[in-house]
Amino acid sequence: MSMTAKDVLKLIKDHDIKIVDTRFTDLFGAWQHYSLPASRLTEDMMEEGLGFDGSSIKGFQVINESDMLMVPDPSSAFVDTTLGVPTLVLICDIIDPLVREPYSRDPRNVAKKAEAYLKSTGLADTAYFGPEAEFFLFSDVRFSQAANHGYYFVDSPEAVWNTGAEVPGGNKGYRIRHKEGYFPVPPTDTLQDLRSKMILKMMEFGIDIELHHHEVATAGQCEIDMRFDTLVKMADQLQKYKYVVRQIAREHGYSATFMPKPLFGDNGSGMHCHQSLWKDGEPLFFDETQYALLSKMAQYYTGGILKHAPALLAICAPSTNSYRRLVPGFEAPINLVYSVRNRSAAIRVPTYSSSPKSRRIEFRAPDAMCNPYLAFAAMMMAGLDGIMNKIEPPAPLDVDIYELSPEEKADIRGTPGSLSEALDALEDDYEFLLQGGVFTPDLLEAYIDAKRREAVSIALRPHPYEFSMYYDA
């Protein structure tokens, strides 16, 4: 049963809460917040909302229309036990105080509209998402950019480059070689206990956890998997997930990053997104007579995602760094095809179980830099467009795509090569996002404009490796 405002006030009293922290997600996926004494919170405040300056939030309001309200969602309440002072967190929705309507650029509002649109189609009533967010844990991070220099340094006790390091007490030699970080046990996997502490904290926050493990790359690449949930709830969970990872890492002397490609020459971090549609409690993606047991609806959904993938990636792989991951040779899902097992395919069909309830597709190109509310909504909208227009996906490819000849690969579409290319694709292909008023033109315009500026910022700056290549030319 969902909590009410009265339940929240009782929770505050029962747990002797001192601070209430109100949080919302900005256009680009960052949690924003402010805090107030718990004694000040009233039912009226939770219903009317709390004011803030929308012009100070990137991608939101202009300065002459700055007043906005965040309205706490009582059902989202949780006690933040990563903080020393007893604190209750409330996730908020944003509304315009003049018209008292949901704000068009509030990502959580977009996700809610997406769920409502799904029901209005009659095709399904529930979209489930299960993201596999990967991240790196570094023990030392230094970077700087100025007119006369640009550099970064990252380090990790388990990284292969530390085999020869002088360490107090002696170097014990357990290091993870490049591309050999998948599943080693301790002491090679130095982060077992730290990940366990992360998942225990996530469970305290109400997240249903399935497993955790070390990932392929050296230098602390990790993955923690959550059990699937509905679109808005899973986006809320992913925001909690990233927050806990960062907080627990910092508490134990590490720094966590969700950058897709912080290391040269090793695997990057993605966020494979498992997804399926259900109606009246029954799964809709299963058909034992079809390829990979995928129903025609699931195949059309796949066709929609593959058709719109270049545009989707402007939202689902939203950084310039994302396209340093989406390159050949590092298990990156750069081929816009689907397959039962091929991990270089953009969409994989998991085969661990033949149960109708487990039948789903896995879109592998996104990464955890994305705004989950926008990314999940956009993927579902692309899939629904595929169903409504009966978009057939390309024939499945269950071969090693890297081993195909150039002639055999000629007709295989690839992911965009840069953020700018993905933004071009979004500008050319966005109508599917506007259906049902889920996304709005003003949101997409603000988003694209900000991301264009990011791409230009990178293009303007000399790269350190350019000095190696060109300085004495």
Q: Which residues are catalytic?
A: 53, 132, 134, 215, 223, 272, 343, 362, 364
Of 24, 273, 290, the closest CA to residue 132 belongs to 273
Alpha-carbon distances of 145 from 66, 138, 258, 462, 469, rounded to whole Å: 32, 20, 20, 10, 20
What DSSP character marks residue 286? Answer: B
Strands 19-25 and 87-96, bridge-based pairing: parallel
What's the CA gap between 249 and 189, in Å, rounded? 15
Alpha-carbon distances of 157 from 143, 193, 257, rounded to whole Å: 19, 15, 16
What's the CA gap between 144 and 155, in Å, rounded? 16
Q: Is the Cβ–Cβ distance between 317 and 366 less than 8 Å? A: yes
What DSSP character marks residue 387? Answer: H
> Hey, what are 264's tokens?
């040269």
- Contacts within 8 Å (CB) and 24+ apart, 142-147: 145/461
Evaluated on CA atoms 54, 58, 61, 66, the torsion sign reads positive
Of 106, 80, 104, the closest CA to residue 93 belongs to 106
Q: Is the Cβ–Cβ distance between 90 and 21 less than 8 Å? A: yes
Report the C-alpha dihedral over residues 348, 353, 359, 362, rounded to 10 degrees: -20
3-state class (DSSP) for residue 356? helix
In one-letter notation, the amino acid at residue 305 is I
Terminal Cα distance for the chain, rounded: 69
